[in-house]
Amino acid sequence: MNARLPQALLNTHQALNQVSQAWDSDLVGRLTDYIAIPAKSPMFDADWAAHGLIDTVVQHAFDWVQAQKVDGLTLEIIRLPGRTPVLFFELAASQGTSETIASSADKSRSSSQTVLMYGHLDKQPEFTGWRADLGPWTPKYEQGKLYGRGGADDGYAIYAAITAIQALKTQGAAHPRVVGLVETCEESGSYDLLPYIDALRTRLGDVGLVICLDSGAGNYDQLWLTNSLRGMASGTLKVQVLTEGIHSGDASGLVPSSFRILRHLLDRLEDSATGRLLPGSFHCEVPADRLAQAQATAAILGDELYKRFPWANSSCVSDCGGSSQAMLPTTTDPLQALLARTWTPTLSVTGAEGLPEMKNAGNVLRPYTAFKLSLRLPPLIDAARAVAELKTLLEDNAPYQAKVTFESAGGATGWNAPNTAPWFEQALNQASKDYFGAPCGYIGQGGTIPLMNMLSTGFPKAQMMVCGVLGPKSNAHGPNEFLHVPYAKKLTAAVAQVIAAAAWV
């Protein structure tokens, strides 16, 4: 149904003031406490249940939501046996009490559909390279940026979601039924999520709008809607040539290097000169509408699409260790840069084993080398098929008949957003103009949110508001990760307004 939205859904000035005050007086402090807790995802903390840190951040969020006393909201922590816990909340629809927002005639058309709000509370591990005065578990608030692991990815989501709902309640605005699902396994690929969705399916209802607060922004100047996400296939490739290390002077030249064999195997997958993945089945054509949106976004962001990264040699003037030039990206064309990180399959080596620290590296031919591989897949490529193909490609016909294994860590198929309904496009643009002074932008993201593909399959008619605070240099998963608080305030208010708009569909 293409509903005409009321002229004024919210008093925007009041909404922004309310959420800004909440961020300044409460949310920054709550997220400071959250960042200090190393609640690493199960992939990075096998003993998460015994350590209790995930349970701690879930309980803290539960207690805070309860303390907000949102009228009509029910909240619970759900724990399936052997699974990481989730937070689940429900809020019945309201036709509103404010006569200044819309006429009573409009109210009679309010939606029977449900808005599903999503976030997660588990975190990535520490990583190295943090600024000397920063750290993953030592939060610091500086010039509007809250530094530390997990605040922006994605601890803020539950706090922003409830704050947005409170803004609606304060103004007596109409809103549809709202449910919230906050998981604690996202950074491990959300392998616990589907059982919860199955268990909660009847309680989720007829989902007409999903609001996922776990994505990014092209800049901090407007609202950004994520229109695609890459998938992922990951695992450990191990090459073993000996049962123990041997003096390199004795064995090298006769015993092939495990590192060289591993490098040879990766040559089957990737052109090392260009980084292009060789199997054609890992590529797909970019849909015409996504290409058009990418062209518009490239025109907005320009060279900031690649300049925003912390390039080596980027500040060189005369002494760069033998080089007077800055590090270059794979392309400086804005459109190609955007497509390269959203619709192009890419291999990253994210970890290694079998290599001693430099200070302990003697003249030894090592028995094995193992790499952790992370393969980003275009949104339309099936991850399970890619994982199977990857295993065959790497293991078959091993050089020298070395012992080669690829142990999969799983995969997650990417996501391409459904067509944008007119009411949704109108609501996004109006919210962006009201709170940012610019229209909504559309951008693909290179990361993976497994939930989105699950929800698009389960609720094929739902609109998807995938957005977040991970803008330029916020560096999720890496050192110096930060949450841009001024942007988060405006995003929170914009989310409230889009929820209000969904009541009239």
Q: What is the pLDDT along the chain (505 residues), one digit of tens a residue?
A: 455 677 678 999 999 999 999 999 999 999 999 999 999 999 999 999 999 999 999 999 999 999 999 999 999 999 999 999 999 999 999 998 865 455 444 544 556 799 999 999 999 999 999 999 999 999 999 999 999 999 999 999 999 999 999 999 999 999 999 999 999 999 998 999 999 999 999 999 999 999 999 999 999 999 999 999 999 999 999 999 999 999 999 999 999 999 999 999 999 999 999 999 999 999 999 999 999 999 999 999 999 999 988 888 765 433 445 555 778 899 999 999 999 999 999 999 999 999 999 999 999 999 999 999 999 999 999 999 999 999 999 999 999 999 999 999 989 999 999 999 999 999 999 999 999 999 999 999 999 988 898 888 888 889 999 999 999 999 999 999 999 999 999 999 999 999 999 998 8
Q: Contacts from 327-336 at CB under 8 Å and sequence distance 24+?
A: 330/274, 330/275, 331/306, 332/303, 332/306, 334/298, 334/299, 334/301, 334/302, 334/303, 334/305, 335/294, 335/295, 335/298
Q: Which domains does the chain have, with CATH numbers?
A: 12-229+415-502 (3.40.630.10), 231-284+343-412 (3.30.70.360)
For residues 77 and 160, give the distance between their C-alpha atoms in angstroms, rounded to a whole number.
18
Look at strands 177-183 and 86-91 and give their pairing: antiparallel
pLDDT at 101: 53
pLDDT at 316: 40
Whether the bond between 250 and the residue before it is cis, its omega within 30 degrees of 0, is no
User: Tokens standing for 10?
Assistant: 């919210």
pLDDT at 155: 98
pLDDT at 499: 97
Residues 276, 277, 279, 282, CA torsion sign: negative
pLDDT at 108: 47
pLDDT at 185: 96
Which residues are paired to 255 by β-bridges? 252
Q: List CB contacts of 347: < 8 A, sequence separation 6 or more.
A: 266, 269, 270, 275, 277, 373, 374, 375, 376
For residues 80 and 197, give the distance between their C-alpha atoms in angstroms, rounded to a whole number.
11
C-alpha distance from residue 75 to each of 47, 66, 83, 292 (Å):
27, 7, 19, 42
- In whole angstroms, what separates CA 43 from the centre of its chain? 16
Q: Contacts from 397-400 at CB under 8 Å and sequence distance 24+?
A: 398/239, 398/261, 398/265, 399/256, 399/261, 399/264, 399/265, 400/241, 400/256, 400/261
pLDDT at 413: 94
